[in-house]
């Protein structure tokens, strides 16, 4: 098929709507391994957008490219937990055996190898993506087999099934994961008891958002319901980009019916007829199974028109793919991305509940929040509220990875202590726990008596364990690099601050920093957290500030004794001059050793 | 519209209308809040963060924050001024700003706001990015070294000229301005020197050709009076040219 016909087809399928630009780009990327100038031109005509706007959208998302990638486009997950499982060594092996340089397509165009932010396979890593498909449990042996498959030009679809298997690894179940209600139960309750009664149940259950911020779900739904407009929308945030989090992956794999049920319940209450799941591109393998669940729900009257026979209860759900951008988990960036644009966080107010998708009132909730809401409708507010703590009712799914014997998904009532959790997952010599991901809190052993709860240690679910042998600065460095990669670049303090911070952490790591540099980190960190436009910038300095405070030795043991060290190496700066003059004698060097 | 609503800006009472931001109300009252990406002719952006103020203990950008009756707004404390200075230093090290060699020197808002906040040096380590100059257009040149990503040209070209000549590409520290034309060059775009977009750049990134140093250094907009008195360079575009 010619590219003209292909683009005709995909744009026709999305009715030439410019807000489907990102969805079109995603398809083109995986069809051709890049979006060519020709494709950009055709899209610009079809969607009535400027070419530079389209180029800007491509340039924003890590998985979209304007130059060809290899036919096998490999991305090794570069999260700290992948590093701890040896991913860096495997990356070197892979590049060597394939004869490729990082990020550069091989001369024959067959393969590219690069790194990517956490792919959400932390408990079965190291992991990688090949043309968007997830491969787990990499080791030397598996890497060698993968090299053979690539050299034999075996399509990824034909690779051994065990390579592409993703396990749930559920280790502890509580009220959510052990529930055995049936598809449709929550909607039946809604129809029997009415919107207002169910909304009151959600409010009095005390349910708070599971994506991290903990906003009261009932209140959000009520605000949205009250916002006057001709259309309302329900959006499920399945971007799950926080390093170390993978519980939404498991819910979407094994509990999708309950997540969709929660979305439909919300639609019934707020009066929406359309919903979206924003699925991170890293979970490409979940898309087809999710479509299958949606189809089944349509066939059984749980989606579509007159749901469960109730006249005028109309709702359907569409899956939209992300394309590699952590910031798109932030709800207003997510909405921009749903509209096909660069994922830049919006100015707030107004908030999505009044001005969201296409400027209409929109509820955005996390995957886990929708599932909890559905089960509250079935079992009642008391069933939920009787578990947990005063401020944090119910349970929380934790994604546990790192140095422990039994990594995986653990569902705990809120109020569970670190100590208790560490014991359950078999972490016997923990030095620290990183809770709530890269922007979360670093807890040393002295704080293991603290609890998972909004009023103590709040988390979207990431729980990474570090044993006594780990160098915590490796974690800090990994996060500092992560934020440089993921800052959207909109506002000054985060765009520039993330880079300055990363350079300072690297300076400490290479043994070139002095006390002055640590003071600079404090200063830049404080500026970022006070003046950034969105939650990414206001939390990105947390890992540095937290460890400077609680793990000062990882910095101090590497400091030069002088208080001030230059940010560049004078002798290294002379290398160009030495190359030109062909000199390398003592006189062509500036003494740097003291 | 009611004008009875007021808030305090550094102790002074400022009245505002429904829908006003803190910046709108301050500008109308003739009070200066330092800013770069804001221009009252365009929808607020909130990206440079230079207009941060403290409202009842919370820091917000004045250009995007709705004015609230009875609130206390701090626009001048050492704490706020220090943060603004640090933001300006970040902008200076991110690009390549060689003021003595820049045609905009003296009429540049980045420079003027830096003076206003008592910035004496760029302080942070320079990034020295490799950027280019686009001199392909007969009447206008772009020196990308000096672009601070305020997106005023993007907004002007999109919302006033209806040409969409400019867009932002890349992400994070790699964000950069791009020109909509087959070659990416301004000369091959639909840009004209009479466009609104040619008259909004607060720094020396988008510059008219053929007029170099018409006005001598020492006589330029911010040479005699500070930005807090004379305001935005874009508002003086007319007199700059004649
Ligand atoms: C940088 C950033 C990334 C975020 N990523 C996610 C995410 O991946 N998933 C999520 O549910 N919420 C994420 N959030 C929180 C969302 O903005 C929003 O609060 C949430 O989706 C609301 O749903 P909830 O109330 O059910 O938690 C993120 C926030 C920020 C600032
Ligand atoms: S804080 Fe960072 S991610 Fe958020 S708007 Fe600013 S640059 Fe973008
Ligand atoms: S060229 Fe000027 S107006 Fe345009 S974004 Fe850069 S600094 Fe702003």
Nearest CA to ligand 3 atom 6: B147
Chain A residues 1-60 within an 8 A CB cutoff of chain B: 50-53, 55-56, 59-60
Nearest CA to ligand 3 atom 7: B147
Residue-level pLDDT at B238:
61
Token duo for residue B114: 């830096």
Strand partners, A400: A408, A463
A72-167 homologous superfamily: Glutaredoxin (3.40.30.10)
CA distance A240 to A236: 11
CB B202 within 8 A of CB B109: yes
Residue-level pLDDT at B239:
60
| Cα–Cα nearest to A264, from A177, A178, A188, A359 | A188
Token duo for residue A324: 């590699």
Domain boundaries, chain A: 3-60, 72-167, 172-385, 395-470, 473-556
To the nearest 10°, report the CA torsion of A66, A67, A68, A69: -90
Facing residue for A485 by CB, picked from B46, B166, B172: B172
**Model confidence over B68-105: pLDDT tens digits?**
999 999 999 999 999 999 999 999 999 999 999 999 99
Assess whether the C-beta atom of A480 lies below 6 angstroms from ligand 1: no
Token duo for residue A519: 């003071």
Q: pLDDT grade, residue B242 (50/70/90)?
A: very low
| d(CA A208, nearest CA chain B) in Å | 24
- Pairing relation of β-strands A316-321 and A274-279? parallel
Residues near ligand 2 (Cβ within 6 A): A 327, 345, 487-491, 494-495, 532-534, 536-537
Region for B81 from its dihedrals, namely left if φ exceeds 0, alpha if ψ lies in -120 to 50, beta otherwise: alpha
- The answer to whether A496 contacts B90, with C-beta atoms less than 8 Å apart, is yes
Residue-level pLDDT at A562:
66
Query: Which CATH fold would you assign to the domain A172-385?
Result: Rossmann fold (3.40.50)
Give the distance (Å) from ligand 2 centre to CA of residue B166: 21
Query: Which CATH fold would you assign to the domain A473-556?
Result: de novo design (two linked rop proteins) (1.20.1440)
Q: What are phi and psi of A111, to 5 degrees?
A: -145, 145
Work out the average pLDDT over B7-36: 97
Domains and CATH numbers, chain B: 5-76 (3.10.20.740), 86-214 (3.30.70.20)
Helix ranges restricted to H, A17-175: 21-32, 37-47, 51-60, 80-84, 87-98, 140-151
Which of A325, A347, A538 best tests the B interface by mutation, with the highest count of B CBs <10 A?
Answer: A347
Q: Is A583 on the interface with B (CB under 8 A)?
A: no
Residue-level pLDDT at A576:
83
Residues of B in contact with A524 (CB under 8 A): 86
Residue-level pLDDT at B1:
46
The pTM of this model reads 0.96
> What is the ipTM score, two decimals?
0.96
Assess whether the C-beta atom of B177 lies below 6 angstroms from ligand 3: yes
Q: Please report, in angstroms and rounded to a whole number, the separation of the first and last CA atoms in chain A.
A: 67
CATH class of A395-470: alpha beta
Q: What is the pLDDT along chain A (594 residues), one digit of tens a residue?
A: 899 999 999 999 999 999 999 999 999 999 999 999 999 999 999 999 999 999 999 999 999 999 999 999 999 999 999 999 999 999 999 999 999 999 999 999 999 999 999 999 999 999 999 999 999 999 999 999 999 999 999 999 999 999 999 999 999 999 999 999 999 999 999 999 999 999 999 999 999 999 989 999 999 999 999 999 999 999 999 999 999 999 999 999 999 999 999 999 999 999 999 999 999 999 999 999 999 999 999 999 999 999 999 999 999 999 999 999 999 999 999 999 999 999 999 999 999 999 999 999 999 999 999 999 999 999 999 999 999 999 999 999 999 999 999 999 999 999 999 999 999 999 999 999 999 999 999 999 999 999 999 999 999 999 999 999 999 999 999 999 999 999 999 999 999 999 999 999 999 999 999 999 999 999 999 999 999 999 999 999 999 999 999 999 999 999 987 666 777 778 888 888 898 888 888 888 886 444
* Number of Cβ pairs < 8 A linking chain A and chain B: 110
User: Residue B155: how many CA atoms within 13 Å on its side-chain side?
Assistant: 16
- The answer to whether A492 contacts B91, with C-beta atoms less than 8 Å apart, is yes
Facing residue for B49 by CB, picked from A523, A533, A567: A533
CA distance B24 to B42: 12
Assess whether the C-beta atom of A331 lies below 6 angstroms from ligand 1: yes
Residue-level pLDDT at B61:
98
Residue-level pLDDT at A566:
72
- pLDDT reading at B3 higher than 70: no
């Amino acid at each position: 098929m010619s590219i003209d016909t292909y683009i005709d087809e995909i744009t026709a399928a999305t009715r030439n709507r410019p807000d489907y630009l990102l969805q079109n780009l995603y398809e083109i990327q995986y069809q051709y391994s890049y979006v060519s100038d020709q494709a950009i031109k055709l899209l610009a005509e079809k969607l009535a957008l400027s070419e530079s706007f389209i180029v800007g959208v491509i340039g924003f998302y890590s998985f979209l490219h304007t130059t060809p990638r290899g036919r096998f486009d490999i991305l090794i997950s570069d999260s700290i937990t992948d590093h701890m499982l040896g991913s860096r060594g495997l990356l070197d092996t892979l590049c060597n055996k394939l004869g490729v340089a990082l990020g550069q397509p091989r001369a024959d165009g067959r393969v590219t190898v690069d790194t990517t932010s956490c792919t959400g396979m932390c408990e079965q890593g190291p992991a990688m993506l090949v043309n968007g498909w997830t491969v787990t449990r990499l080791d030397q042996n598996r890497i060698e087999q993968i090299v053979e498959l690539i050299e034999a030009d075996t399509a990824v679809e034909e690779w051994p099934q065990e390579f592409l298997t993703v396990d749930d690894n559920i280790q502890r179940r509580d009220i959510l994961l052990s529930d055995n209600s049936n598809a449709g139960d929550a909607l039946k309750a809604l129809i029997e008891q009415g919107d207002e009664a169910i909304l009151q149940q959600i409010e009095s259950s005390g349910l708070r958002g599971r994506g991290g911020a903990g906003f009261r779900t009932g209140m959000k739904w009520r605000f949205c319901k009250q916002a006057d407009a001709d259309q309302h929308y329900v959006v499920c945030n399945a971007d799950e980009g926080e390093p170390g989090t993978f519980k939404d992956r498991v819910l979407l794999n094994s509990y999708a019916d309950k997540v969709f049920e929660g979305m439909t319940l919300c639609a019934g209450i707020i009066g929406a007829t359309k919903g979206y799941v924003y699925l991170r591109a890293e979970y490409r393998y979940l898309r087809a199974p999710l479509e299958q669940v949606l189809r089944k729900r349509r066939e059984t009257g749980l989606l579509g028109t007159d749901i469960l026979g109730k006249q005028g209860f109309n709702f359907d759900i569409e899956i939209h793919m992300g394309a590699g951008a952590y910031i798109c988990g932030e709800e207003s960036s997510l909405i921009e991305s749903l509209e096909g644009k660069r994922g830049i966080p919006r100015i707030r107010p107004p908030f999505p509940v009044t001005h969201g998708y296409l400027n209409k009132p929109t509820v955005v909730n996390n995957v886990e929040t929708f599932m909890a809401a559905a089960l509250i409708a079935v079992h009642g507010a008391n069933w939920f509220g009787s578990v947990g703590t005063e401020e944090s009712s119910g349970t929380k799914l934790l994604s546990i990875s790192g140095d422990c014997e039994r990594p995986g998904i653990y569902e705990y009532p809120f109020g569970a202590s670190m100590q208790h959790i560490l014991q359950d997952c078999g972490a016997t010599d923990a030095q620290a726990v990183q809770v709530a991901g890269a922007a979360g809190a670093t807890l040393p052993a002295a704080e293991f008596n603290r609890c998972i709860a909004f009023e103590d240690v709040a988390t979207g679910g990431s729980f990474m364990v570090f044993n006594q042998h780990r160098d915590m600065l490796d974690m800090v460095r990994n996060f500092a690099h992560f934020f440089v990669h993921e800052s959207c670049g909109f506002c000054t303090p985060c765009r520039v601050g993330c880079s300055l911070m990363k350079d300072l952490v690297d300076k400490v790591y290479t043994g070139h920093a002095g006390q002055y540099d640590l003071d600079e980190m404090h200063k830049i960190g404080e500026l970022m957290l006070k003046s950034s436009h969105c939650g990414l910038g206001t939390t990105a300095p947390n890992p540095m500030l937290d460890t400077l405070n609680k793990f000062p030795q990882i910095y101090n043991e590497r400091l030069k004794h002088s208080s001030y060290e230059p940010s560049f190496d004078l002798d290294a700066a002379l290398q160009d001059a030495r190359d030109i003059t062909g000199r390398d004698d003592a006189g062509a060097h500036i003494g740097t050793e003291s | 519209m009611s004008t009875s609503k007021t808030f305090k800006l550094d102790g002074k009472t400022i009245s505002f209308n429904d829908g006003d931001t803190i910046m709108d109300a301050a500008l109308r009252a003739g009070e200066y809040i330092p800013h770069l990406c804001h221009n009252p002719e365009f929808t607020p952006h909130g990206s440079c963060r230079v207009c941060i103020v403290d409202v009842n203990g919370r820091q917000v950008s004045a250009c995007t924050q709705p004015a609230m009756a009875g609130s206390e707004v701090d626009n001048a404390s050492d704490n706020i001024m220090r943060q603004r200075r640090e933001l300006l230093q970040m902008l200076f090290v991110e690009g390549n700003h060689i003021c003595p060699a820049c045609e905009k020197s003296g009429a540049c808002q980045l420079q003027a706001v830096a003076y206003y906040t008592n910035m004496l040096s760029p302080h942070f380590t320079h990034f020295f990015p490799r950027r280019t100059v686009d001199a392909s257009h007969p009447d206008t040149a772009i020196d990308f070294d000096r672009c601070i990503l305020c997106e005023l040209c993007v907004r002007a070209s999109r919302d006033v000229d209806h040409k969409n000549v400019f867009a932002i590409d890349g992400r994070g520290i790699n964000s950069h301005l791009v020109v909509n034309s087959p070659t990416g060059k301004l000369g091959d775009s639909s840009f004209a020197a009479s466009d609104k977009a040619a008259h909004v750049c607060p720094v020396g990134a988008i510059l008219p050709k053929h007029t170099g140093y018409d006005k001598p250094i020492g006589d330029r907009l911010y040479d005699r009076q500070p930005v807090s008195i004379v305001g935005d360079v874009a508002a003086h575009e007319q007199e700059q040219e004649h």
